[in-house]
């Protein structure tokens, strides 16, 4: 008995973690999947109902707006974060004075919650006393900046705040990547007559492909899950113009009490994340095994 | 001839020196402009929190406050003292502390144990077990919200700090496992083998050999978990309301509560109070914070 215990001790120690994740992650996802095929309203029902909830979901105007917003947000969020992140990383890589201070400034938003970020930007972007007033007081009398309360433009305020929060993170990833490249490669290129621009454009950035990939995966992942920032900044408004899938899911579940429909939307999000993550994990694992 | 080449080379050098200088100015200009963009909201938050509403209406976002006026900070932290409807952050700040400390402790401990087993007591199929746990880093939490809400209800711990401790511990395990596993994998296995030959057991090896060299990864993990859990809003707002809510939920409620006049100075003071703990950690231990971010950053 004691022998057995000793032999299996590692597995016994692993058991709680595996059990908890098995139950709370895999079990729960399966439960949600099952519920998405039922006609559950306030309380879950367990008779299968087919794909009705998914039909309903994709016929819902609000969900289509949410998906549309997600695509707009993801595209802009990705582009701005990556471009700003790369520019900052390359510039910081030029033996800059006070690099530590600048890096700290670029990255501190990552330490704040999206609720804090959203609260701050909501105040800055508010049309009565925020940026608009600042410019008017400076003498630009016709200056208007009302994106926060403008149906067409409100989604872009979420991009502004989101990029502010996450661009520094992309910078940190690229800076770490650039620093891991050996000096000899850059020196050799310079001796061959390449200028700094060519060195980065033709040599270093192509070498950063794994970093691009990682940034892409993480940023898409953040944007699919974005919830807090929208709640704090616009609450999905004006109207429903800035709804996104994560917000749709919780509102449908907890305000509208449409548990089945809400589960269907959660599963759509799950599949979207899986489509990005599984290739990523696969390639990461292959890279690790190759080492 | 030789002279001619020399002078033209010097000219070239001279010219590239001027371009270089111009480039460096440009470089610094861009870096500083971005720094201002990143600093701007923090600056606005701080000055706004120190102004009176009258000053806010008269000045602009950038106007310097007339003095160090901490009234709105006092209101944000301790309320106005008129009872019902008076929301302030103090009790929720403590809720968050009570939630964060045990959740960080348990998830870090479990992660250290699983990371230890997965690297030093390898068994058949351990790679799959790791992958099984790792996938938990990525799931969108919307896919587990509904069953979690029911489970907490069945266990009788919905709308309580204990419930949130459970939730954060469980969903922190994939990350803490990842951190410790990646750290322990670089510790030479020979060390462990030698200790086993000497008759040291599972726990003795962990506490005598691995734990003493784990300080850096413990710091990384604790900072990561602290930041994630302190900043969480989704779980907090879904599984708690009223008195059991953590600080981010309380902050959001405070800002959204539409009393007659919007008090931006109190809002900003509240936002700073909710953000200060993680900011302090970031400033004091930025190196470890960044290490956590770049090695395991996947959570939104």
The answer as to whether B78 is a domain residue is no
Place of tokens 């019902």: B84
Confidence of residue A163 (pLDDT cuts 50, 70, 90): very high
Residue B59 is predicted with a pLDDT of 80
The answer to whether the beta carbons of residues A250 and B238 sit under 8 Å apart is yes
Place of tokens 């599963």: A267
Q: Which domains does chain A have, with CATH numbers?
A: 1-36 (no CATH), 52-290 (1.10.3720.10)
Render pLDDT for A242-269 as a digit per residue (tens, 0 to 9).
Answer: 999 999 999 998 888 889 999 999 999 9
Report angle CA A256, A267, A231 to the nearest 5 degrees: 50
Cβ separation A254–B238 shorter than 8 A? yes
Average pLDDT of A196-207? 85
Residue A286 is predicted with a pLDDT of 77
Question: How many CB atoms within 10 Å of residue A137?
Answer: 16
Cβ separation B286–A104 shorter than 8 A? yes
> Which B residues 182-201 touch A at CB under 8 Å?
201
Residue B300 is predicted with a pLDDT of 32
Residue B117, chain A, CB below 8 Å: the answer is yes
Cβ separation A218–B147 shorter than 8 A? no
CATH number at residue B266: 1.10.3720.10
Render pLDDT for A75-123 as a digit per residue (tens, 0 to 9).
Answer: 999 999 999 999 999 999 888 888 889 999 999 999 999 999 999 999 9
Same domain, B202 and B139: yes
Residue B298 is predicted with a pLDDT of 41
The answer to whether the beta carbons of residues B177 and B118 sit under 8 Å apart is yes
Cβ separation A133–B283 shorter than 8 A? no
Among A42-46, B3-7, B151-155, B286-290, which is the least confidently predicted range?
Answer: B3-7
The answer as to whether B124 is a domain residue is yes
Residue A160 is predicted with a pLDDT of 93
Q: Decide if pLDDT at A197 tops 50.
A: yes
Same domain, B138 and B190: yes
> Which B residues 134-173 touch A at CB under 8 Å?
134-136, 138-148, 150, 170-171, 173
Instruction: List the structure tokens of A42.
Output: 């306030």
Render pLDDT for A26-72 as a digit per residue (tens, 0 to 9).
Answer: 999 999 999 999 988 887 788 888 888 899 899 999 999 999 999 99
Residue B297 is predicted with a pLDDT of 46
Residue B256, chain A, CB below 8 Å: the answer is yes
Rounded Cα distance between A168 and B293, Å, is 11
By Cβ distance, the residue of A21, A172, A274 closest to B133 is: A21
Residue A275, chain B, CB below 8 Å: the answer is no
Please count the residues of chain B: 300
Cβ separation B60–A253 shorter than 8 A? no
Residue A246, chain B, CB below 8 Å: the answer is yes
Cβ separation A231–B233 shorter than 8 A? yes
ipTM score: 0.89
Domain that holds residue B193: 90-296
The answer as to whether B265 is a domain residue is yes
Taking contacts as CB-CB distances below 8 angstroms, the residues of chain A near B62 are 134
Taking contacts as CB-CB distances below 8 angstroms, the residues of chain A near B245 are none
Same domain, B62 and B104: no
Q: Please, what is the average pLDDT of chain A?
A: 88
Among A115-119, B74-78, B110-114, B217-221, which is the least confidently predicted range?
Answer: B74-78
Q: Decide if pLDDT at B12 tops 60.
A: no
Same domain, B42 and B171: no
């Amino acid at each position: 008995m004691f022998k057995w215990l000793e032999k299996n001790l590692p597995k016994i120690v692993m058991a709680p973690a595996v059990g908890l994740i098995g139950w709370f992650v895999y079990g729960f996802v399966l439960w949600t999947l099952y519920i998405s095929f039922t006609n559950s309203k306030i309380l879950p029902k367990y008779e299968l109902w087919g794909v009705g909830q998914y039909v309903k979901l994709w016929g819902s105007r609000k969900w289509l707006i949410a998906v549309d917003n997600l695509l707009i947000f993801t595209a802009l969020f990705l582009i701005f974060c990556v471009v700003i992140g790369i520019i900052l990383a390359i510039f910081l890589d030029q033996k800059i004075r006070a690099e530590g201070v600048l890096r700290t400034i670029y990255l501190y938003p990552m330490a704040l919650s999206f609720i804090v970020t959203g609260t701050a930007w909501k105040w800055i972007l508010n049309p009565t006393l925020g940026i608009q007033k600042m410019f008017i007081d400076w003498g630009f009398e016709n200056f208007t900046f009302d994106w926060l309360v403008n149906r067409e433009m409100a989604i872009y305020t979420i991009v502004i705040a989101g990029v502010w929060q996450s661009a520094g993170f992309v910078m940190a990833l690229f800076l770490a990547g650039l620093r891991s490249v050996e000096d000899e490669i850059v020196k050799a290129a310079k001796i061959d007559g390449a200028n700094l621009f060519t060195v980065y454009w033709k040599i270093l950035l192509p070498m950063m492909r794994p970093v691009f990939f990682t940034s892409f995966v993480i940023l898409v992942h953040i944007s699919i899950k974005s919830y807090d920032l929208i709640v704090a900044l616009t609450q999905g408004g004006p109207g429903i113009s800035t709804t996104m899938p994560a917000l749709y899911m919780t509102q449908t579940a907890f305000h509208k009490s449409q548990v089945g429909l809400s589960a269907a939307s959660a599963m759509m999000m799950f599949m979207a994340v899986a489509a990005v993550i599984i290739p990523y994990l696969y390639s990461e694992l292959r890279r690790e095994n190759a080492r | 001839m030789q002279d001619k080449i020399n002078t033209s080379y010097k000219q070239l050098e001279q010219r590239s020196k001027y371009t270089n200088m111009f480039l460096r100015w440009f470089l610094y200009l861009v870096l500083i402009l971005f720094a201002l963009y990143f600093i701007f909201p923090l600056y606005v938050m701080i000055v706004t929190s120190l102004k009176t509403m009258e000053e806010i209406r008269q000045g602009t976002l950038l106007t310097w406050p007339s003095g160090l006026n901490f009234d709105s900070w006092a209101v944000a932290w301790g309320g106005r003292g008129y009872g019902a409807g008076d929301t302030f952050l103090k009790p929720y700040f403590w809720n968050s502390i009570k939630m964060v400390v045990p959740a960080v402790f348990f998830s870090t401990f479990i992660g250290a144990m699983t990371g230890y087993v997965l690297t030093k007591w390898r068994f058949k199929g351990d790679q799959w077990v790791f992958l099984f746990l790792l996938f938990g880093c990525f799931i969108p939490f919307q896919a587990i919200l509904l069953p979690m809400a029911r489970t907490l209800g069945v266990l009788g711990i919905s709308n309580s700090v204990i419930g949130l401790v459970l939730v954060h511990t469980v969903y922190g395990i994939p990350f803490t496992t990842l951190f410790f596993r990646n750290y322990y994998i670089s510790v030479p296995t020979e060390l462990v083998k030698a200790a086993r030959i000497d008759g040291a057991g599972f726990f003795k090896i962990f506490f005598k050999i691995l734990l003493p060299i784990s300080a850096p990864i413990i710091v990384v993990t604790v900072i990561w978990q602290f930041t994630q859990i302190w900043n969480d809003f989704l779980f907090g707002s879904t599984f708690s309301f009223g008195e059991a809510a953590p600080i981010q939920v309380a902050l959001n409620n405070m800002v959204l509560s539409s009393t007659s006049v919007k008090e931006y100075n109190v809002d900003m003071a509240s936002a700073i109070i909710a953000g200060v703990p993680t900011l302090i950690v970031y400033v004091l231990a930025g190196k470890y914070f960044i290490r956590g971010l770049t090695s395991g950053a996947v959570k939104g």
